[in-house]
Structure 1
Amino acid sequence: MGAVKTKRMPRAVREQQMLDAAVRIFGQRGYMAASMDEIAELAGVSKPLVYLYLNSKEDLFTACIRREATALTAAVRAGVRQELPADRQLWEGLRAFFAHTAEHPDGWSVLHLQARTHGETFAAEVAAMRAELVTFVTRLVVVAAREAHRDPGLPEREVAGLAEALVGAAESLAAWANATPGVTARQAAATLMNFAWSGLGTLMSGRVWAPPGEET
């Protein structure tokens, strides 16, 4: 009788297995300290196979960034129901964001810490993800203005600025929440929602802050 043949794992499944291992190593040890030997060992494959599938450490790291960025933006979009009022959409988007970053701390470390500090190419990948989130939040602000049946006279640049500030705050708060025992994703989302919507709600009502002595 011939030898029993084992079923080969599909390439796509094997590649995801390698990416899972790489995200964990990169997220916990950092890009520079991570080694292909560690990644291969954790993935249960040989180092040459990692190179065969993903070419180099740089290409592997880029693939990790792209996968984690895609997963995060997809989670935020999937968490938002378009039929809800703008404030509920923002709340659900924030909950989805903080839930995902809490459930995938290594992936968030790759995006928020590692990718931004190890070269322009890696940083550009994260910037693309961030731009998508900013665009998403900008649309929510615009919808909120329409629902208020007002024209607050916000220039497009200012609306985009508000979205940038909100996304930046979410990023910093997610890093803090992941590093602070006992802080849940819901608590982090509520903290930012209370901070953000108080200001946005006031803005939508036409009450815009201005320095003393200057017209609004």
Structure 2
Amino acid sequence: MGAVKTKRMPRAVREQQMLDAAVRTFGRRGYMAASMDEIAELAGVSKPLVYLYLNSKEDLFTACIRREAHALTAAVRSGVQPDTPADRQLWDGLRAFFTHTAQHPDGWAVLHLQARTHGDAFAAEVTAMREEIVAFVTQLILAAARAAHRDPDFPEHEIAGLAEALVGAAESLADWANATPDVTARQAAATLMNFAWAGLGNLMNSDPWIPPVS
């Protein structure tokens, strides 16, 4: 009787194994300290196979950034139901964001800590992801502002800075939540809602805070 042949794993599945191992290694050890030997061992493959599939450490890191960025933006978009009130949309989007970053701390570390500090090419990948999220939040707030003011032409530039500030705050809060024991995604989202929505709610009601003259 001949030897039983094992079923060959499809390339796409094998690549995802490698990316899983790479994200974990890059996220926990950092880009510079991570080695291809370590990634290959964690993935259960040979180092030459990692190079065959993903070319180089730089290409592997870029692939990790792109996969994690796509997963995060998809999670935020899918978490928001467009036919709900503005505060519910923001709440759902924030909860989806913090849930994803809590469930994938290594992926978040790759995006928010590692990719930004190891070269312009890596940073550009994260910038593209961030711009997509900011644009999404901008349109969410803009729709709410236009409805509140009953003005379909309410200018986007009036709220563009709010979206930037909100995304920046969410990024910092995700770092804090992941590093703080017992803080849940729901608690992190509620913290930012309590911080941000009071101000946004006042803006929707045409009651902004006015800076002093001097």
TM range (shorter): over 0.9
For residue 196 of structure 2, what is the aligned residue in structure 1? 196
Q: Deviations over 1:119-144 (max 9, x none)?
A: 00000000010001000100111111
> Is residue 26–residue 34 contact of structure 1 (8 Å, CA) maintained in 2?
yes
Instruction: Return the alpha-carbon distance in structure 1 between the equivalents of residues 24 and 113 of structure 2.
Output: 13
Q: Deviations over 1:141-197 (max 9, x none)?
A: 111112213459964334111101000000000000000111110000000011111
> Is residue 73–residue 129 contact of structure 1 (8 Å, CA) maintained in 2?
yes
Instruction: Return the alpha-carbon distance in structure 1 between the equivalents of residues 50 and 210 of structure 2.
Output: 57
Instruction: Report deviation, 1:94.
Output: 0.2
> Is residue 72–residue 100 contact of structure 1 (8 Å, CA) maintained in 2?
yes
- The RMSD of aligned alpha carbons is 1.5
Q: Deviations over 1:74-93 (max 9, x none)?
A: 00111111111111001000
3-state DSSP class of the match of 1:148? helix
> Is residue 95–residue 189 contact of structure 2 (8 Å, CA) maintained in 1?
yes
For residue 50 of structure 2, what is the aligned residue in structure 1? 50
For residue 173 of structure 2, what is the aligned residue in structure 1? 173
> Is residue 116–residue 122 contact of structure 2 (8 Å, CA) maintained in 1?
yes
Amino acid at match of 1:206: S
Amino acid at match of 1:19: L
Instruction: State the identity %.
Output: 82
Structure 2 counterparts to residues 10-159 of structure 1, below 5 A: 10-151=10-151, 155-159=155-159
Change (3 A) 1:179 1:152: farther
Instruction: Return the alpha-carbon distance in structure 2 between the equivalents of residues 154 and 183 of structure 1.
Output: 37
Instruction: Report deviation, 1:7.
Output: 0.5
Instruction: Return the alpha-carbon distance in structure 2 between the equivalents of residues 213 and 108 of structure 1.
Output: 42
Instruction: Return the alpha-carbon distance in structure 2 between the equivalents of residues 33 and 185 of structure 1.
Output: 30
Residue segments in structure 1 that go unaligned for 5+ positions in a row = none
Q: Deviations over 1:55-108 (max 9, x none)?
A: 000000000000000000000111111111111001000000000000000000
Instruction: Return the alpha-carbon distance in structure 1 between the equivalents of residues 188 and 153 of structure 2.
Output: 31
Instruction: Return the alpha-carbon distance in structure 1 between the equivalents of residues 152 and 193 of structure 2.
Output: 21
> Is residue 142–residue 156 contact of structure 2 (8 Å, CA) maintained in 1?
no
Point out the more displaced range, 141-150 or 94-103: 141-150
Amino acid at match of 1:113: L
For residue 205 of structure 2, what is the aligned residue in structure 1? 205
3-state DSSP class of the match of 2:45? coil
TM-score, normalised by the number of residues in structure 2 = 0.96
Instruction: Return the alpha-carbon distance in structure 1 between the equivalents of residues 146 and 154 of structure 2.
Output: 12
3-state DSSP class of the match of 2:49? helix
Runs of 4 or more consecutive aligned structure 1 residues displaced over 3 Å after TM superposition: 149-155
